[in-house]
Amino acid sequence: ILDPSFSLPLCTDSRAPFQQKTPLAFCSYNGTSCCNSTDDKQLQTQFNAMNISDPGCASLVKSVICAMCDKFSAELFRTDSVPRELPILCNSTTSENSNKSSQTKNDFCSKVWTTCQNVSIISSPFAASVKSNSTKLTDLWKSQIDFCNEFGGASGVGSVCFAGEPVSLNSTTPISPPGGLCLEKIGNGSYINMVAHPDGSSRAFFSNQQGKIWLATIPAVDSGKLLDLDESSPFLDLIDEVHFDTELGMMGIAFHPKFSQNGRFFVSFNCDKQAWPGCGGRCSCNSDIDCDPSKLPSDSGSQPCQYQAVIAEFTASGSQPTQAKTASPKEVRRIFTMGLPFTGHHGGQILFGPRDGYLYFMMGDGGGIGDPYNFSQNKKSLLGKIIRLDIDSTSSVEEITKLGLWGNYSIPKDNPYAEDKELQPEIWALGMRNPWRCSFDSARPSYFMCADVGQDKFEEVNIISKGGNYGWNEYEGPYLYTPSKSPGGNKSMSSINPIFPVMGYNHSDVNKNGGSASITGGYFYRSMTDPCMHGRYLFADLYAGFMWAGTENPEDSGTFNTSQISFNCAQKSPIDCTSVPGSSVPALGYIFSYGEDNNKDMYILASSGVYRVVRPSRCKYTCAKENSSAVDDDIPSSPPPASPPSAAIMLTGSYSNFVVILMSLILMLTSWL
């Protein structure tokens, strides 16, 4: 606040549900805080230098500067997206106060003026905005009105103000968890990626880990039909280039935002440089990050950086991309190649940002228990990072050399390195262990959700923000973490300001013996097929025994209530579901990923097949929002009929009734004529 070189990170509640919980010695923020002990000491030093003699004024000023530690500091220190030197002080005289909150009734701004107006405050934080050395408020402002016009404000829609105590948003009525998730099985294949066709149709691309992509047609909901996917006729076959193993293979596919015009799409995969000449690339363990690959141990018989992470560009065949049924297997351009130190923890998913059009690449810490070489926190390493690339323009040879780029792309000008020169320019966020399935909310693209696989204790879901540090390997979720071995050294906790998860679960929640757990991230459910699930974020454990729904409450607050949800298969599923022995729970196998089609219906990609979320009543789940006219008996039995279902089957609710009545009137009119 006072020293320009001292800048604490502003945060919102979406960044801090598990933030610093140890009471701070000076600021004494209870519960959630954006400050750590080092920040706290710096604030105390600055406060002591103010030499405020009046105890009442000193207490108020202390609370004002400690507002930097509030979990809603990002809102408190900004007005119309412009950063402020001090938080917005609650002021009951502002016009927004027709409905006064408990904070604005406090009228904290006038209290500060009344108590401190004639008190000397050396290096006063209130003087910074007018660039004055005066120590008294009355030397700077003629009246309370002028003072509060400068520093005051009210809590309103989308804004908060500071009333001398930690901010708490008005809560809404608790939202009941959904009754359960009803599924139908529409395919037997095992895939790890699903991407809706960019043309907006009912088609989607599916890919497996071995190296093939298929173009499929998705049947209408409640039609009783199967996924139309011919495994003998792939859209693209890269099996000869892709190295497939437990955590290696074709990991991601993404279609250019203008695919319908240019036919461009991108594939993320792993290759073996000993088996394929086209696999060569720099090792991620190199002198730039003080890492010597010759000192790395072998992993599962492989040598360090034998396996590479690749992003390559391909193009759909023919002049009309939306009608293409295949793609040329020849690479158009190699975007990115990087050698992996070990065989695990390298994510591999790729996504285009819905607003900026840039390509996001999720990269894990490279493997090894506890990230022993501290790649994730190393700002010069791309391991353990979310990477953001501009693939629509390329860098010159000079730029590639100067910036140390890993391929044929350019750097978005607003990447975080513009403010933090220590960062490798590709980095968007850091401190990840193994991000496994991220998604942008289709309704609110600023909600960039990423699940991150834990080590021993905690599986997490994060809201990814520009330049955010998500803590690994200093933290595992909300817990402090100490690697058993760290030949690469460690960061000190005080040197990072981690952003903690908004959702997650302990390993003990899914395995009482503390055994395996591994999160699979999902989507915000935006379909109305299951209206009781609408707006909730769905995610699961890889081992398919548990699923969760995260409900944000209040909306846009970043605060999520997570509840474990039951799931079942509809009795008249197009393909009969098998059950876990001795249980009615569907035997999904492993849940590799989730998918979303152009109608926002949601899918589960499991080792046992493809499942779609359907109406809850089909599994006898209760949902008050679902129209009672939708009945299970309307669903065709398996095998599906040759003829399409009737309009009465396809439509539900009042709209269906309207159509039926209208058709009857037309028939009567036709007969009369």
Residue in 347, 316, 334, 336 with CA at minimum distance from that of residue 251: 347
Give the single-character DSSP code of 573. Answer: -
Measure the CA–CA gap between 1 and 138, rounded to whole angstroms. 21
* pTM as predicted: 0.72
Give tens-digit pLDDT for 288-347: 999 999 999 888 778 899 999 999 999 999 889 999 999 999 999 999 999 999 999 999
Please tell me the predicted confidence (pLDDT) of residue 556.
84
Instruction: Report all structural domains of the chain as residue ranges with CATH numbers, in order of start.
Output: 18-154 (no CATH), 181-619 (2.120.10.30)
Confidence at 158, pLDDT banded by 50, 70, 90: very low
Please tell me the predicted confidence (pLDDT) of residue 79.
52
| Tokens matching residue 413 | 């000008």
Phi, psi of 295 (to 5 degrees): -100, 0
Mean pLDDT throughout 346-365? Answer: 97
Residue in 514, 510, 513, 584 with CA at minimum distance from that of residue 544: 510
Exposure string over 75-95, b if 16+ CB within 10 A, otherwise e: bbbeeeeeeeebbbbbbbebe
Give the single-character DSSP code of 69. Answer: G
| 3-state DSSP of 248-308 | ECEEEEEECCCHHHHCEEEEEEEEECCCCHHHCCCECCCHHHCCCHHHCCCECCECCCCEE
Give tens-digit pLDDT for 489-525: 665 556 788 999 999 999 988 877 655 789 999 999 9
Whether the per-residue pLDDT at 5 is higher than 90: the answer is no
Mean pLDDT throughout 15-21? Answer: 41
| Tokens matching residue 73 | 């500091």
Whether the per-residue pLDDT at 228 is higher than 50: the answer is yes
Look at 350 and 624; give whichever has higher pLDDT: 350
Please tell me the predicted confidence (pLDDT) of residue 577.
95
Question: 86 and 2 in contact (C-beta within 8 Å)?
Answer: no
Question: How many percent of the chain have pLDDT more than 90?
Answer: 59
| Tokens matching residue 418 | 């513009």
Measure the CA–CA gap between 204 and 210, rounded to whole angstroms. 19
DSSP alpha helices (H): ranges in 386-526? 397-403, 507-510
Whether the per-residue pLDDT at 143 is higher than 60: the answer is yes
Look at 385 and 18; give whichever has higher pLDDT: 385
| 3-state DSSP of 195-212 | EECCCCCCEEEEECCCCE
Report strand pairing: 181-187 vs 567-569. Answer: parallel
Please tell me the predicted confidence (pLDDT) of residue 96.
40
Q: Which of 150-164, 184-198, 463-477, 623-637 has the lowest mean pLDDT?
A: 623-637
Query: What is the average pLDDT score of the chain?
Result: 84
Q: How many residues does the chain have?
A: 673
Whether the per-residue pLDDT at 7 is higher than 50: the answer is no
State the distance between the two ends of the chain, measured CA to CA, in whole angstroms. Answer: 83
Q: Give kind and range of the element (H or E) at residue 46.
A: helix 37-50
Please tell me the predicted confidence (pLDDT) of residue 544.
84
Give tens-digit pLDDT for 454-473: 999 999 999 999 999 999 99
Q: Give kind and range of the element (H or E) at residue 519.
A: strand 519-520
Question: 393 and 381 in contact (C-beta within 8 Å)?
Answer: no
